[in-house]
């Protein structure tokens, strides 16, 4: 298994050697490598068993760093970074040739992000290269929100995981790009549509799926646990399969239709932020429940609730 700790020097050394390291961010843990080293980035794809057509996000410490890697930096993109960075937003911009093609899957744009986590900020400050990092999970599975999640699945394949505790947001960054100078949201995430539109005006929302090749990572079946997950509007009205052992992920209170020990409550405090923080951990936990089917209840479709429902939908699509 990998070593887990807070040794920034060890983490930096592995990265300088061209190896991959698990890193914490406010959204989910990433599997990081030197973004300027094509061979190091190739290892990310191998370790995750990720198809090379699915581009990686490049993480940097501040806005000045972004200038080094993008050839066009529109004012609206700057405004977003100034307002929300470090924070859960990725902006897709035309790339400079210093970013290897493998990072962007051959696209001429690159997703740039400034993560909000003290340890990873310190790590980035100690390096003279940016970090390419997808979520640190096998391709298609649930994203990790704790160092132990990374270790459980990728620990055999990497040497070090920087332990930054539990991720505070728990849902990946929101991805924004520009088409004909107009902003487009490609992935719902930790930052809400409203927060983004408040800064740059109305955005087109074009969530990616298999028929939309711009960001192939957003295929319908993603974030999927091994267990069969059925998404319902409300458990109260849902038709439960009584011939099977069932469990549930519920929003704020237990349903009397299912045994309590098989239910996980996303937010007893009725708080969408808390629900987001628990979501991926619960999607992992259901794989350990002694049940055949898990029902998941949609959360209120406001703010970050839209991103939570998006992940629940993808997790329930096989």
Residues that bind ligand TXA (CB under 6 A): 25, 27-28, 30, 54-57, 90, 92, 104, 107, 109-111, 113, 115, 133-135, 172-173, 175, 186-187, 208, 214-215, 217-218
CB-based burial of residue 13 (10 Å sphere; 0-12 exposed, 13-18 middle, 19+ buried)?
Answer: middle
- The nearest distance, CB 288 to ligand TXA, in angstroms, is 23
Residue 148 contacts residue 136 (beta carbons within 8 Å): no
Nearer to ligand TXA, 27 or 316 (CB): 27
Nearer to ligand TXA, 36 or 56 (CB): 56
Where does the chain have alpha helices with state H? 8-16, 38-48, 63-69, 75-84, 101-104, 118-125, 147-154, 193-200, 272-285, 305-316
Nearer to Mg ion, 135 or 173 (CB): 135
Nearer to ligand TXA, 143 or 255 (CB): 143
Residue 219 contacts residue 210 (beta carbons within 8 Å): yes
- d(C-alpha 281, C-alpha 169), whole Å: 12
Nearer to ligand TXA, 60 or 266 (CB): 60
Nearer to Mg ion, 27 or 135 (CB): 135
Is the alpha carbon torsion for 124, 26, 50, 47 positive or negative? positive
- Tell me the residue nearest to ligand TXA as measured from the CB: 217
Distances (CA, A) of 250 to 283, 303, 308: 12, 18, 12
Q: Which residues contact 307 (CB under 8 A, 6 or more apart)?
A: 171, 174, 188, 189, 190, 192, 276
- d(C-alpha 9, C-alpha 245), whole Å: 48
Residue 284: how many CB atoms within 10 A of its CB?
Answer: 22
Query: Which pair of tokens denotes residue 44?
Result: 């990310």
Nearer to Mg ion, 135 or 174 (CB): 135
Binding of Mg ion at residue 135 (CB under 5 A)? yes
Per CB under 5 A, the segment of 32-40, 130-138, 243-251, 295-303 that binds Mg ion is 130-138
- The nearest distance, CB 238 to ligand TXA, in angstroms, is 30
- The nearest distance, CB 290 to Mg ion, in angstroms, is 28
The interface partner of residue 28, options being ligand TXA, Mg ion, none and the CB cut-off 5 to 8 Å by kind, is ligand TXA
- The nearest distance, CB 227 to ligand TXA, in angstroms, is 21
- The nearest distance, CB 189 to ligand TXA, in angstroms, is 6
Site for Mg ion, residues 255 to 314, rule: CB under 5 A: none
- The nearest distance, CB 143 to Mg ion, in angstroms, is 5
Binding of Mg ion at residue 25 (CB under 5 A)? no
- DSSP state letter for 85: -
The interface partner of residue 89, options being ligand TXA, Mg ion, none and the CB cut-off 5 to 8 Å by kind, is none
Sites of contact with Mg ion (CB under 5 A): 135
């Amino acid at each position: 298994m990998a070593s887990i700790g807070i040794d920034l020097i060890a983490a930096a050394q592995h990265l300088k050697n061209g190896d991959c390291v698990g890193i914490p961010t406010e959204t989910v843990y990433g599997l990081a490598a030197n973004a300027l080293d094509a061979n190091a980035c190739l290892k990310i794809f191998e370790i995750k068993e990720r198809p090379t057509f699915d581009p990686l996000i490049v993480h940097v410490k501040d806005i000045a760093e972004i200038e080094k890697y993008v050839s066009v930096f529109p004012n609206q993109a700057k405004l977003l970074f100034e307002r929300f960075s470090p924070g859960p937003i990725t902006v897709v911009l035309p790339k400079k040739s210093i970013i290897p093609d493998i990072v962007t899957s051959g696209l001429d744009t690159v997703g740039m992000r400034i993560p909000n986590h003290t340890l990873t900020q310190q790590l980035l400050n100690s390096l003279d290269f940016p970090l390419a990092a997808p979520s640190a999970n096998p391709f298609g599975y649930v994203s990790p929100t704790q160092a132990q999640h990374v270790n459980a699945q990728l620990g055999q394949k990497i040497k070090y995981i920087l332990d930054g505790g539990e991720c505070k947001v728990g849902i990946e960054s929101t991805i924004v790009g520009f088409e004909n100078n107009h902003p487009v949201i490609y992935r719902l995430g930790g930052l809400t549509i409203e927060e983004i539109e408040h800064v740059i005006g109305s955005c087109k929302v074009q969530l990616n799926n298999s028929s939309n090749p711009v960001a192939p990572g957003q295929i319908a079946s993603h974030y999927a646990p091994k267990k069969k997950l059925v998404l319902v509007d409300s458990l109260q009205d849902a038709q439960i399969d009584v011939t099977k052992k069932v469990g549930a992920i519920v929003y704020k209170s237990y349903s009397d239709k299912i045994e309590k020990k098989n239910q996980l409550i996303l937010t007893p405090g009725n708080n969408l932020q808390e629900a987001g923080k628990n979501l991926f951990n619960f999607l992992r936990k259901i794989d350990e429940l002694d049940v055949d089917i898990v029902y998941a209840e949609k959360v209120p479709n406001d703010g970050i609730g839209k991103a939570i429902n998006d992940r629940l939908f993808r997790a329930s699509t096989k």
